[in-house]
Structure 1
Amino acid sequence: MNNRLTWHRLALFGALGLFAFFFLTPLYVMVATSLKSMDEIRTGTLLSLPMSPSFAAWAKAWSEACTGTDCGGLKPFFMNSVMMVVPAVATSTLIGAVNGYVLSKWRFRGSELMFAMILFGVFMPMQVVLLPMSQVLGWLGLASSVWGLILVHVIAGIPSTTLFFRNYYVGLPDELVKAAMLDGANFWQIFVRIVLPLSTPIMVVTLIWQFTNIWNDFLYGVVFSGADSKPITVGLNNLANTSSTVKEYNVDMAAAMIAALPTLLVYVLAGKYFVRGLTAGAVKG
């Protein structure tokens, strides 16, 4: 294999380096600013390294910063997001897996129409469902609660998770299901013992996709949450918009990093599995 540097490769590496610099600069500015004191921010430049790095701004953003009239920091908002994300991601992924399994391996009359109706939810604007969803949550007694947010995100995530699993399961040989049926396995035995063990790539993709969408959601969080159930995105917005005598940019940047850290960690630790999962079902056979 020819590993010599050519003008084409130099141009490619240069373009990739430029794009990396363009996308990583805001992250660098956020991290560097969060580690500086306000005096250093005023006297230094935006891209300068922190002379005396300190996590004081992080500590204040976590437990002392004011988000409106409350000065308890982002900790309660962060915990609300954790309590919301874990069951919402798990439930929507499991329902999507069952839907994809049924719509790909147990087709029935009208299954294609049902899949088309579910798929419509992927392209439907979120703003359309705000009023009817508010009414449903009120009828169920889940308005302004974490459980209400969980239900909203599960319903909103089912179209996407169904699409992912259905397209992946179409590529699995039908003979696996037929052979299991001949051996006497029922619907759930085939799903749990045969289909799910083969679903690791698309399972990882769906979990990452759902975690990112739900954790970073602001619209549903601000509309359907109450005073004690607001997620991290709403808390970050309240913190950034809380007026004070001195604007503490280091605290704002630290708060933004705290809010973004879970999704950053997920992509750093599982990013390669996300790419593998996306390409696993791309070619059938």
Structure 2
Amino acid sequence: MTARVSWSRLFIWVLLLVWAAWFLAPLYVMVVTSLKDAEQIRQGHLLSLPTAPTLAAWHKAWSEACTGVDCNGLRPFFWNSVQMVVPAVLISTALGAINGYVLTKWKFRGADTLFALMLFGVFMPMQVVLLPASQILGWLGLASSLWGLVLVHVVAGLPTTTLFFRNYYVNLPDELVKAAQLDGASFWQIFFRIVLPLSTPIIVVTLIWQFTAIWNDFLYGVVFSGADSKPITVGLNNLANTSSTVKEYHVDMAAALIAALPTLVVYVVAGKFFVRGLTAGAIKG
């Protein structure tokens, strides 16, 4: 029996290691390629380690690589994404928390219908809203601006953030709100002093989810941005498609890693909190 358990456990470990190697192989290739120069790439193997590691490709991708006619690297696109992502994530998370609070603890006639209609936004293809969103941004004077992108991402993310918080707040005891009401607490006092302090797990989940979705978005970035407001996904696309006499794969790999680095850091640092937040409140108790 012990031998059988040991062999089954060994098989599981081997299977997990094989799948991990399979999924990590592209990341490995990107990292080692970004640390090589052009000569090492031509003479070496795809999986070979760099003989003389260098960060020259990273430096060029960050500040010197051409994205079309502009040769300032990914740096301006990176900071555009930072300026767009931070307010968009915070605003969409805050509004989702308020919506979830209202739809569960202060229910009104038609609340369930309203929530069902909002869920359409979770499954609606992004391409459907491009034309009407462009017209609305034009009316508001926000076309081709960072704040226009912020508004688009807030509206697009609101159904998802509302869904997260609504499903989490359903499992919070209604007696907490009723007791606070008996003590004379107002709508906002109950929210900030009772509900919000209990919402840390779902707040973490929503922040990570929204950050990843907005940072990695390309469609909205390429459609709604202007010359000075393009996010890093658009900059990376322009860099990779800029033609030159010699294709600099090491620079492209370094640029891709720079674009992916913030989301990688977020998941490495907060990945365990993301899993805990998803499972928190899954069982009503």
TM beyond 0.5: yes
Q: Deviations for 1:91-114, whole angstroms, at most 9, x for unmatched residues?
A: 000000000000011110000000
TM-score normalised over the length of structure 1: 0.98
Q: CA deviation at 1:4?
A: 9.3
3-state SS of 1:15 partner = helix
Residues 1:168 and 2:172 are matched in the alignment: no
- Residue 109 of structure 2 is matched in structure 1 by 109
Deviation at 1:51, TM superposition (A): 1.0
What residue in structure 2 maps to residue 257 of structure 1? 257
Amino acid aligned to 1:62: W
Q: 1:8: how far off?
A: 1.0
Letter in 2 for 1:15: L
Q: CA deviation at 1:242?
A: 0.1
Trace 1:78-227 onto structure 2 (pairs within 5 A).
Answer: 78-227=78-227
Letter in 2 for 1:71: C
Does the residue aligned with 2:54 lie in a helix, a strand or coil? coil
Structure 1 vs Structure 2 CA RMSD: 1.1
Q: Equivalent residue for 2:36? A: 36
1:244 partner letter: S
CA displacement, residues 30-62 of structure 1 (integer Å, 9 cap, x when unaligned): 000000011000000010011111110000000
Distance verdict in 2 for CA 1:253–1:3, change over 3 Å: farther
2 CA distance for matches of 1:8 and 1:122? 41
Structure 1 equivalent of residue 277 of structure 2: 277
Alignment of 1:18-97 (within 5 A): 18-97=18-97
Q: Partner letter of residue 42 of structure 1?
A: R
Q: CA–CA distance in 1 between the matches of 2:140 and 2:123?
A: 26
Q: Name the SS of the counterpart of 2:217 in structure 1.
A: coil
**Quick one: percent identity of the two aligned structures?**
77
Runs of 4+ aligned structure 1 residues displaced above 4 Å come to 2-5
Aligned-partner Cα distance in 1 for 2:126–2:182: 44
Do the aligned partners of residues 190 and 69 (structure 1) sit closer, same or farther apart at CA in structure 2, a change above 3 Å counting?
A: same
Structure 1 residue identity aligned to 2:125:
P
Deviation at 1:5, TM superposition (A): 5.9
C-alpha distance in 2 between matches for 1:53 and 1:192: 51
Counterpart CA distance in 2 for 1:47 and 1:33 is: 8
* TM-score, reference length from structure 2: 0.98
Superimposed CA distance per residue, residues 169-206 of structure 1 (whole angstroms, 9 cap, x where no aligned partner): 00000000000001100000000000000000000000
Cα distance in 1 between the residues matched to 2:105 and 2:200: 18
The residue identity in structure 2 corresponding to 1:100 is G
Instruction: State how far apart, in whole Å, the 2-side matches of 1:122 and 1:104 are.
Output: 19
Q: Where does the alignment leave 5 or more consecutive residues of structure 1 unmatched?
A: none
Q: What is the alpha-carbon distance in structure 2 between the residues aligned to residue 236 and residue 200 of structure 1?
A: 34
What amino acid is aligned across from residue 227 of structure 2 in structure 1? Answer: A
User: What SS does the corresponding residue of 2:203 show, helix, strand or coil?
Assistant: helix
Residue 219 (structure 2) pairs with residue 242 (structure 1): no
The number of residues matched between the two structures is 284
**Deviation sequence 1:74-96 (CA, Å, 0-9, x none):** 00000000000000000000000
Q: Tell me how far apart the structure 2 counterparts of residues 13 and 44 of structure 1 sit (CA, whole Å).
A: 32
